[in-house]
């Protein structure tokens, strides 16, 4: 990347978000590593600073307005105006529709959809001022429908419409917005799914790989590479798109 820019990556204490934060730092960005608890961001921050990069850890819940405002303000103060935003924070509350509690629906929609909305609204002020910006939202192949994930599928499909609308509204200011829809990526999120199914994580990964055309599950760095491209100057004509990164056309 030609210029040093300031990026915020939400849910970056671990998993896909941590890989994206490390990759954006390697690309030359200064990175705010945001997650629920500041102390949990330490390993991602250290991975960046150990390689000579610049990063700060921020504790915030993306679904809470005042947290979001404080997080963006702190980023601007300590690193500079943020112009790259990766809305990655996410949770699962899987259940079949007939067993899904109101709280399971509300929690998932709050983190994925309201979180992305609050973060994007707060960061766009800096992007518009800079007349340059990148927004990358983490959708999922589950947006196409997935048993036991009515809440998550709705939120991830909603994020795709949100992304396209941001692309339309913010495009005139040099800001692009795109979504990445990962397939099966080996992270703690799915470790918990394996536990719920009562099988080992290794068994779960092996079974998943057999269903994927390239015959392997994805790794967080597969998603980080896609995010790196979408945040680059080279991707300035790519906006409002959903990039499926899933080892094939189906999850
Ligand atoms: P993960 O559970 O390993 O990490 C998610 C991170 O988000 C955690 O560090 C968590 O603390 C943080 N987080 C949760 N709620 C938050 C909140 N309210 N505010 C701030 N941070 C919060 O998950 P992952 O597998 O790395 O997934 C990252 C993103 O990619 C999620 O949006 C997920 O839905 C999406 N995704 C993952 C997969 C996969 O196979 N792992 C597939 C498709 C999409």
Residue-wise pLDDT tens digits, 12-58: 999 999 999 999 999 999 999 999 999 999 999 999 999 999 999 99
CA of 175 to the centre of ligand 1 (A): 24
CA of 87 to the centre of ligand 1 (A): 10
Phi/psi at 138 (5° precision)? -85, 105
pLDDT in tens, 62-117: 999 999 999 999 999 999 999 999 999 999 999 999 999 999 999 999 999 999 99
Q: Is the pLDDT of residue 1 over 60?
A: no
10 forms beta bridges with 34
Asked if residue 61 has its Cβ within 6 Å of ligand 1, the reply is: yes
CA of 156 to the centre of ligand 1 (A): 12
pLDDT value, residue 43: 98
Q: Tokens 């949990």 identify what position?
A: 40
- Report how far residue 192's alpha carbon sits from residue 126's, in angstroms, rounded to the nearest whole number: 37
Asked if residue 205 has its Cβ within 6 Å of ligand 1, the reply is: no
Residues in the chain: 251
Asked if residue 63 has its Cβ within 6 Å of ligand 1, the reply is: yes
pLDDT value, residue 193: 87
Q: Locate the ligand 1 atom nearest the alpha carbon of residue 62 and give its number.
A: 19
**Marked catalytic residue, from 152, 204, 229, 244:** 152
Q: Locate the ligand 1 atom nearest the alpha carbon of residue 87 and give its number.
A: 32
**Residue 229 appears among annotated catalytic residues:** no
Q: Does the predicted model carry a pTM greater than 0.75? A: yes
pLDDT in tens, 142-200: 999 999 999 999 999 999 999 999 999 999 999 999 999 999 999 998 898 898 889 99
- Closest by alpha carbon to 94, among 12, 13, 189? 189
Mean local confidence (pLDDT), 218-247: 98
pLDDT value, residue 2: 58
Asked if residue 31 has its Cβ within 6 Å of ligand 1, the reply is: no
């Amino acid at each position: 990347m030609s210029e040093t820019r300031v990026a915020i990556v939400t849910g970056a204490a671990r998993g896909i978000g941590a890989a994206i934060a490390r990759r954006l730092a390697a690309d030359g960005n200064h990175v705010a590593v945001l997650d629920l608890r500041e102390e949990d961001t330490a390993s991602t921050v250290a991975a960046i600073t150990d390689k000579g990069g610049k990063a700060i850890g921020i504790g915030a819940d993306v679904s809470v307005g005042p947290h979001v405002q404080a997080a963006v303000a702190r980023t601007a103060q300590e690193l500079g105006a943020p112009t790259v935003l990766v809305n990655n924070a996410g949770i699962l509350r899987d259940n079949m529709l007939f067993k899904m509690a109101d709280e399971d629906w509300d929690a998932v929609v709050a983190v994925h959809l309201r979180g992305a909305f609050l973060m994007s609204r707060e960061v766009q002020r800096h992007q518009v001022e800079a007349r340059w910006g990148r927004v990358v939202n983490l959708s999922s192949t589950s947006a196409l429908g997935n048993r036991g994930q009515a809440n998550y599928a709705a939120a991830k499909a909603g994020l795709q419409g949100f992304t396209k609308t941001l692309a339309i509204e913010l495009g005139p200011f040099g800001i692009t917005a795109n979504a990445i829809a990962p397939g099966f990526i080996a992270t703690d999120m799915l470790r918990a799914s394996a536990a719920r199914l009562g099988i080992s994580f290794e068994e779960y990964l092996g079974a998943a790989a057999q269903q994927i055309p390239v015959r392997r599950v994805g790794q967080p760095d597969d998603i980080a590479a896609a995010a790196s491209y979408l945040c680059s100057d080279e991707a300035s004509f790519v906006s409002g798109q959903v990039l499926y990164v899933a080892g094939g056309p189906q999850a």
